[in-house]
Amino acid sequence: MNYRVAIIPGDGIGPEITREARKVLDRVCAIYGHSFEYKEILLGGASIDVHGIPLTEEAIKEARNSDSILMGSIGGDAKSSPWYQLEPEKRPEAGLLKIRKELNLFANVRPAYLYKELKEACPLRDEIIGNGFDMVIMRELTGGLYFGERKTFIENGIEKAIDTLAYDEKEIRRIAKRAFEIAIKRRKKVCSVDKANVLDSSRLWRKVVEEVAKDYPEVMLEHMLIDNCAMQLVKDPKQFDVILTENMFGDILSDEASMVTGSIGMLSSASLNEGKLGLYEPSHGSAPDIAGKDIANPIATILSAAMMLRYSFDLEKEADAIETAVKQVLIDSYRTVDIMSKGKTLVGTIKMGDLITERIR
Ligand code: NAD
Ligand code: IPM
Ligand code: MN
């Protein structure tokens, strides 16, 4: 089959890691007889440098016309990059929020899985790790604080800023359904995370999630407050199967979950809408501190490409082939610096991409 894939290299390490993911995809094509037609799209700082804005209408059109989108990461160092001299709505991150909203990518799936081989990279003690853990964070992606009204103004001579956190029941219902659908195929547990002891939006969240749960009697539902959840993730990550939460809580919890799996460089993600088009990107950022050094871990992006094959193209076997190749490289003891431990072989970004590519069967 032929698939149109929009590629967003982005900024910082973005171009380095997407290059490796493309290499892996090309190998999958050659072995399984598909063809991917790539089209590069500018987003973030890369787009600002050319067009003065982080995402053009043209780029949105290209994205819409593709079968799916594979992205690296966007953004720069807020202290030194000229992009952060611009007004907030012209900065790199605004482009990312815009593409998520325009394509209605409300469901952000972030699987956090500890490979046995990466036990040494996990900062938790052996007795906490046990046989490892395997959870999915289902993060709402087009609502909440990120998209509420915001302003900065002067009141009585004092500078003030406001951000609003709003959700309606429809937005909550559709993401909750997604979480239950995923849980049904896994260990059948949903932990819905909120701050219902303080926030009205969380109280509505809880009520709607309870309603949705009635349609999935075989799935066990638990509610947890966000502060407790942040603590439980390091105390006993094994307890989690599917974590369902709103936009900002999900942003924070997914970075935390990534670290208990060894490194943020391992955490893939899929941002999905009601249809088949998805945006696949690692959960981490553009890592300006290590950009251009050939040391970034490309695995999160490569695993995101595998998610693309599975969710957007229904290419199960091909997605499995990528995941198996990643696992094999870890079994064969190759590590980028972020997951390095004693006795393993240290490799750079390009070499890691090559090693995974060679192992695609
Ligand atoms: P970051 O995720 O870029 O980096 C945090 C730390 O993790 C850094 O030490 C970095 O070197 C390390 N790291 C990240 N990815 C890695 C990888 N693949 N391999 C090895 N190490 C890796 O977060 P930050 O520094 O807070 O943000 C940098 C920029 O990225 C900001 O402009 C931010 O807005 C942006 N950002 C973009 C996305 C995205 O595009 N989806 C996500 C998060 C942050
Ligand atoms: C992520 C990132 C983005 C977010 C930023 C760059 C806007 O941190 O994808 O996790 O907060 O959603
Ligand atoms: Mn984040």
ipTM for the predicted complex:
0.98
Q: How far is CA 45 from the centre of its chain?
A: 19
Rounded distance from Cα 142 to ligand 3 centre (Å): 14
**What is the number of the ligand 1 atom nearest to the C-alpha of 298?**
18
Walk me through the domains of the chain, giving residue ranges and CATH numbers: 1-111+271-361 (3.40.718.10), 123-260 (3.40.718.10)
Long-range Cβ contact pairs of 54-63 (< 8 A, separation 24 or more):
54/90, 54/91, 54/92, 54/93, 54/94, 54/95, 54/96, 54/98, 55/94, 55/95, 55/96, 55/98, 55/99, 59/99, 60/98, 60/99, 60/102, 60/103, 62/6, 63/6, 63/99, 63/102, 63/103, 63/279
Q: Which of 252, 261, 264, 326 has the most ligand 1 atoms within 8 A of CB, as the residue to mutate?
A: 264
For 145, half-sphere exposure in the C-beta direction (CA atoms, 13 angstrom radius) is 12
pLDDT digits (tens), the chain, 361 positions: 899 999 999 999 999 999 999 999 999 999 999 999 999 999 999 999 999 999 999 999 999 999 999 999 999 999 999 999 999 999 999 999 999 999 999 999 999 999 999 999 999 999 999 989 999 999 999 999 999 999 999 999 999 999 999 999 999 999 999 999 999 999 999 999 999 999 999 999 999 999 999 999 999 999 999 999 999 999 999 999 999 999 999 999 999 999 999 999 999 999 999 999 999 999 999 999 999 999 999 999 999 999 999 999 999 999 999 999 999 999 999 999 999 999 999 999 999 999 999 999 9
Report d(CA 101, CA 247) in Å as an integer: 13
pLDDT for res 10: 98
Residues with CB under 5 A from ligand 3 (ion): 251
Q: In terms of Cα–Cα distance, which of 291, 287, 267 is closest to 137?
A: 267
> 69: annotated binding-site residue?
no
Instruction: Provide the token pair at 58.
Output: 């043209």
pLDDT of residue 194: 98
Q: Return the residue whose CA atom lies nearest to atom 25 of ligand 1.
A: 287
pLDDT score for 1: 87
- Gap between the Cα atoms of 305 and 311, Å rounded: 10
Q: How far is the CA of 361 from the CAs of 21, 28, 30, 150, 169, in angstroms?
A: 16, 8, 10, 50, 45
Mutate to test the pocket of ligand 1, among 80, 254, 286 (most ligand atoms within 8 A of CB): 286
Residue nearest to atom 16 of ligand 1 (CA): 265
Ligand nearest to the CA of 95: 2
State the Cα–Cα distance between residues 280 and 305, nearest whole angstrom.
7
Per-residue tokens: 285: 């950022």
Ligand 2 neighbours, Cβ below 6 Å, are 75, 93, 96, 251, 283, 285
- Give the number of whichever ligand sits closest to the CA of residue 271: 2
Which are the catalytic amino acids?
146, 195, 227, 251, 255
* Residue 206, pLDDT score: 98
Counting ligands in written order, the one closest to the CA of 281 is: 1
Indicate which atom in ligand 1 lies nearest the CA of residue 81. Answer: 32
- How far is residue 207's CA from residue 202's CA, in Å, rounded to a whole number? 9
Spatial distance between the Cα atoms of 107 and 61, rounded to a whole number of angstroms: 21
The three-point CA angle 158-161-162 to 5° equals 135
